[in-house]
Amino acid sequence: MSQPAIAALLDPFTPFAAPFLARPLLLLIALAVAAGTVGVLVHLRRLEFSADGLTHAVFPGLAIGAALGGAAGLLPGAIGAALVAAVVLALISRRGQPRDTAVAIVLTSFFSLGVVLVSASQGVAGSLSDFFFGRLLTITWGDLRVALVLIAIGVALVVATAGQQLFAAFDAAGARRAGLPVLALETVGTVAVALVVVAASASVGTLLALAVVIVPAAAARAVTRSLRTAVVVAIMFGAVTGWLGLWLVVQLAQLGVDAAPGATVALTMIGGYLLALAAGSVRARGLRGRSQGSAAIATAGAR
């Protein structure tokens, strides 16, 4: 291989001049912004199980959309199912059921309905596979525009209610005493998560969408305790690991390895999360060591 070819291979930016790589990169950057806002809210309010339930709850919407409109019906069907699931989840929670119980009920009922619909339909499985496992490198400009609109709405919902969401996250009982609509806030947060999950499903697939939404926020919280810093770190983490995952797909393709793009991006994020955990652990030990040293010096001075 010539030196110019090697240089082009190792250049981290040249491959993304191609539209089929530029589109998924733009989507992953937008999802990074969602991870730094919606994802941080999910982490603070411990809604990871709810987010996981929503990724499964879109299944009947996918089946209905595929049966009625083929591949073009997948996204509208997923959006409809996600919004219905979010409302049903809020209604069950309002009846006094624990949040985890409500999520389990919604997850199993919606997923079972999806299985029944798929088993009763003909030729649907092929259309669904794209949404389950992702089609990161084949999304169109139309797909990208729809996903960006969903992400923008989800982020806007969280930003508009950020102060109240944080109050409810740290002191739900106090928020209720203060007259805040805690149930409405939970519904808004759940709808925001649902919209971002659907947008992520169009790229990495429903089976991996949770990683794109949750992992950057978890990595940020592993290295910082400042909420503002966590938002910035989560956005940067999501953008960098998304770009790196796509770049790895290109490099593997040059070597003749046809790696699944969505799964490669998700695994790259997991690898980054493990590094963040290690860095956070080292930082915590360093802080404890300095604190113990200061205490020892203070004790010696007192003597």
Judge whether residue 280 has pLDDT over 70: yes
Judge whether residue 110 has pLDDT over 60: yes
Q: Where are the alpha helices (DSSP H) in 140-226?
A: 141-160, 162-170, 172-177, 182-201, 209-223
Report how many domains make up the chain. Answer: 1
- Sequence-ordered strand ranges (E) for 3-77: none
Q: Is residue 98 part of a domain?
A: yes
Q: Is residue 281 part of a domain?
A: yes
Q: Is residue 10 part of a domain?
A: no
Tokens coding 172: 């739900």
Q: Is residue 12 part of a domain?
A: no
Domain of 227, CATH number, reads 1.10.3470.10
Condensed to tens digits (0 to 9), the pLDDT of residues 145-186 reads 988 999 999 999 999 988 888 887 777 778 888 888 877 887
Q: Is residue 151 part of a domain?
A: yes
Distance CA 100, CA 56 (A): 15
Q: Is residue 13 part of a domain?
A: no
Task: Answer whether 79's CB lies under 8 Å from 61's CB.
Answer: yes
Q: Is residue 253 part of a domain?
A: yes
Q: Is residue 5 part of a domain?
A: no
R_g of the chain computed on alpha carbons: 22
Q: Which domain holds residue 211?
A: 19-296
The lowest-confidence range among 64-78, 164-178, 234-248 is 64-78
